[in-house]
Structure 1
Amino acid sequence: MHRILVRYGYVPFMLVGVNGAAIALAASGASELWLAGLLPAAIGCSFAAERALPYEADWNSPAGDGTRDVAHAAVNELLLLVSVGVIPLLAATVTVADLWPRSWPFALQVLAAILIADLGITLTHYASHKIGVLWRFHAVHHSIKRFYGFNGLMKHPLHQTLEMSAGVAPLILIGLPVDVASALAVTVAVQLLLQHSNADYRIGALKYVLALNEGHRFHHLKWAGIGDVNFGLFTLTWDHLLGTFSYDPTRRFTSDQLGMAAKPDYPTAYLAQLAEPFRTSGACASDPPAQEKRPSSRR
């Protein structure tokens, strides 16, 4: 019974339940500490779902990366919370025009913020696979060898800052309220947990619209070019428009297909990963093997 609940109920619980709680708390003017408290709760739910119904059982076991992943998550979630705290200062100095639809229902305002942020984050993500200096920092995220929820929070802090800035800057320019920003920060964390989840959940036809784990696994294939698909954070809308959407229901993923083929010995320790983009060895690119084909978009 619990497996069925996870398979069909986990995603609605996180998207509607946890995000809904964040929206309700932000709308009520609750302290940011209450919102921050939702993050460990969401992480706990992520781990529980992955153990109840794993896609790949081995991905639930640390492979010398547990402490590192905790460090990445702690730093990056702190950055998210700090970014929310500086929004009032930024809004007071860089807002071009107060065009924010404050008369809309609060939940609708958050949804609008999600959709606008999704564009900036997706395009930055796309650029990070095309521009060498950006790839150096993004490569930290692609060094993973197992695919589980915490991986979504494993990013170089400079790249995390860049992505979030690209997503939030347009919002600030049009007068993003801090309470909407607070709810948005929680939805980003929840989305990253879901997108990289090892839980074998199902969302039906929504996998062609929402950027969740069934599609995002293709993005982590280790061969350059082949993994340049499904860049969206919240939705796959922009991937469909960019021609980068890909999905093959017959493909099964293992650790051997993850990581970076051109850099199998990428540093695994936290501090070493922070330093790697600044080293000569931080550059990383290779052509996909001839026998590999880009995953098809067949439905």
Structure 2
Amino acid sequence: MKTWILRLYAPVFLFGFVAAAAWWVGYRHGSALWLLPGLALAIGLSFLAERRWPYDPAFNRDHGDRGRDVAHALVNEGLNLASIALVPLAAGWVAWQAWPSQWPFAAQLLLAVVCADFGITLMHYASHRVGWLWRLHAVHHSVTRMYGFNGLMKHPLHQAVEALGGVLPLLLLGMPQPVAAVLAFAIAVQLLLQHANVDMRPGALWRLMAWAPLHRFHHLRYGSAGDVNFGLFFTVWDRLLGTAFDAPGYRIGGGDLGIGSQPDYPRDYLDQLRAPFARLPQKAEPALPAALRRTGAQSLS
């Protein structure tokens, strides 16, 4: 029974919540504000699953970071809500209407997810190669445990940059507000799954979906070893970029996470908002564990 729960957890969680949101907003024309309690429910269920089937029980213990992570989540989701409210205004600036409004809502949502995933993945990739983007993105990589809330922990300026890369082209095409609202909800749910401390085992879907079993390697603290698995929803972009990676059997622990060259990265919320603009001390990067250099570690491209 446990094996099937862990195999079905991620697909049922993602497709269940997103399908419910699409039904309510897209087909029942309900208020998108009801997606907020839906997200709260998703967070609550994620926490329960992390305690019932943890990948690493130590990741469930508060490291003095819970209040900070709540602050990140409230600010960033509040900004998401504000940006969704501005979608009709942005649509008014578009002189043409190229969005396929005649498509079924589910098809419009799938188009939005694929296009946003591509743009956000490219911005994420750039954030590991462009200095000022990395300084903003480093806030997210400073975590030393992985659990669902980590997905909502970002510097608000970096979230804005990623959102522009993923959503601006859709807005220019005339994406309607209901689609934008469910897209934002789907992204938040997927971020919970990417960082969840759940010992999920999604079977064949692990090669398609960018869930926690692959995304944990993106948070490795060993220099460029974490420059892998950038995709938000799908692994196809990493395959095309040559950055898809897995090390079967390697169990990532707290000592593998964080920024190796900045082990004393600021932990307080306000300090993290200031960190990208401060000169932070640098240390030598730790050595990559031998297990990650063995032949078992492999590219998935």
TM-score bucket (shorter structure): over 0.9
Counterpart in 1 of 2:236? 237
Mapped contact 2:261–2:284 kept (Cα < 8 A): yes
* CA root-mean-square deviation: 1.8
Counterpart in 1 of 2:144? 145
Please give the secondary structure, in 1, of the residue aligned with 2:248.
Answer: coil
- The letter for the 1-side match of 2:274 is A
Could you list the runs of 4 or more consecutive aligned residues of structure 1 that deviate by over 6 angstroms after TM superposition?
Answer: none
Counterpart in 2 of 1:97? 96
- 1:249 has 2:248 as partner: yes
Counterpart in 1 of 2:72? 72
Q: State the shift of 1:224 in Å.
A: 1.6
- 1:55 has 2:28 as partner: no
How far apart are the structure 1 equivalents of 2:285 and 2:57?
30
Mapped contact 2:32–2:178 kept (Cα < 8 A): no
- The letter for the 1-side match of 2:50 is E
Measured against aligned partners, the alpha-carbon deviations of 1:107-153 in whole angstroms (never above 9, x if no partner) come to 11101100000011000000000011000010000000001111000
How far apart are the structure 2 equivalents of 1:258 and 1:96?
47
Mapped contact 1:229–1:244 kept (Cα < 8 A): yes
Count of residues in correspondence between the two structures: 296
Q: State the shift of 1:288 in Å.
A: 6.2
How far apart are the structure 1 equivalents of 2:182 and 2:35?
8
How far apart are the structure 1 equivalents of 2:3 and 2:270?
40
How far apart are the structure 2 equivalents of 1:239 and 1:288?
25
Q: State the shift of 1:13 in Å.
A: 2.4
Gaps of 5+ in 2: none
Gaps of 5+ in 1: none
How far apart are the structure 1 equivalents of 2:289 and 2:209?
30
Mapped contact 1:248–1:296 kept (Cα < 8 A): yes
Q: State the shift of 1:170 in Å.
A: 0.6
Mapped contact 1:69–1:150 kept (Cα < 8 A): yes
- The letter for the 2-side match of 1:179 is P
- The letter for the 2-side match of 1:45 is L
